[in-house]
Amino acid sequence: MKPTDRIILTAFLTALQKLDEPLPNYIQLQLNQIGESLKVNPNNIGNLDLIAKSHPPLNILYQQEFTVLRQKTTERGSKPLSLPNDPTPELTNATINTFSNKNSVSAAQENVKPNLLQRMKNFIAGGNANE
């Protein structure tokens, strides 16, 4: 999984957790399709940024989270920190489970552990994913 994909997934899952209402059906269907595609290819996260842009409440939260995470990768210099390219199975599994649900907002709120997202944020910031 590319480092940018980890940032996108972490920002997207965090934004889903913060939403107050379910996603529109057309967005939920797109997430269901991405969930299925991730089962086959864990590196294929689709166009989550475009999906977020299509729903203003989600986009606001996603852009806030994405900006914070990107800033953390550049705090130590002008070049983004290098992250390993190996897949992050726990993040991938959480994403598949969330996107495959009929209500990804409630699935993210109930099933995506806050400590997973915090570990990913630490990892993205250049720390250890287990901190």
Render the burial of 88-114: b for 16+ CB within 10 Å, e for the rest.
beebbebbbebbbbeebbbbbeeebee
pTM score of the predicted model: 0.86
Q: Where are the domains of the chain?
A: 3-124
Spatial neighbors of 114 by CB under 8 A, at least 6 apart, are: 17
User: How would you write the pLDDT of the chain (131 residues) with one tens digit per residue?
Assistant: 788 888 999 999 999 999 999 999 999 999 999 999 999 998 889 899 999 999 999 999 999 999 999 888 776 554 444 444 444 788 899 999 999 999 999 999 998 888 888 888 888 777 555 54
